[in-house]
Amino acid sequence: MAGPSVMAGMEACIPALRRYAWALLRDRREADDLVHDCLLRALDRLHTRRTDAELRPWLFAIMHNLFVSRTRRARVRAGTERLDGWHEATLGHPPGQEDHLRWKDLVRAVGELPEDQRAVLLLVSVEDLSYAEAARVLDVPIGTVMSRLSRARERLRRITEGEPAIPLRRVK
């Protein structure tokens, strides 16, 4: 529950939560709103959390649920299938060097994935969640995680086929 170690653990997860939220929403303000709501809800739910449960997947699950309900609301409002943030954010980037263009292509390609595939791809590839943890976060069977991951990777591969890799930077 709300011991200092749990607080420290939550604190340590914030950069990852912000990265995932930004990757989902592509809007810094909206992403941080989502993380903020996630932290509030997590604090209110510390009592319902099993003490031996891993903190990171638990937080990601809370945030993912908030994201899903928010996206649903946004769709109802906008009457559209996809959040516009992705397109605005990616298209709004000024064209620059070659690397930047490839980065843009990849980010745009991720944005064009169906939402469920995008979530799996980001949780596994960027956030280093195990397949079992990703399954828990998204509340789907592990087989579904695997098939979404496979579809996402193949789709991205087709989109970016033949392009040299983007220069590596370390993920914190």
Interface residues toward another protein, by CB under 8 A: 1-7, 9-11, 14-15, 18-19, 22-23, 28, 31-32, 35-37, 39-41, 43-44, 46-47, 51, 102-103, 106-107, 110, 121-122, 124-126, 128, 130-131, 146, 149-150, 153, 156-157, 160-161, 165-172
- The helix-helix angle for 142-160 and 98-112 (nearest 10°) equals 140
- By the 8 A CB rule, do 134 and 145 touch? yes
- Helix extents (H) in 81-170: 85-91, 98-112, 115-121, 131-138, 142-160
Q: Which is nearer to another protein, 23 or 83 (CB)?
A: 23
Q: Which is nearer to another protein, 44 or 84 (CB)?
A: 44
CB of 62 to another protein, least distance (A): 11
CB of 16 to another protein, least distance (A): 10
CB of 84 to another protein, least distance (A): 20
Q: Which is nearer to another protein, 80 or 163 (CB)?
A: 163
Distance of alpha carbon 11 from alpha carbon 42, whole angstroms: 12
The dihedral through the CA atoms of 78, 80, 83, 89 has a sign that is negative
CB of 132 to another protein, least distance (A): 9
For residue 2, what are the contacts with CB-CB under 8 A and spacing of at least 6?
A: 43, 46
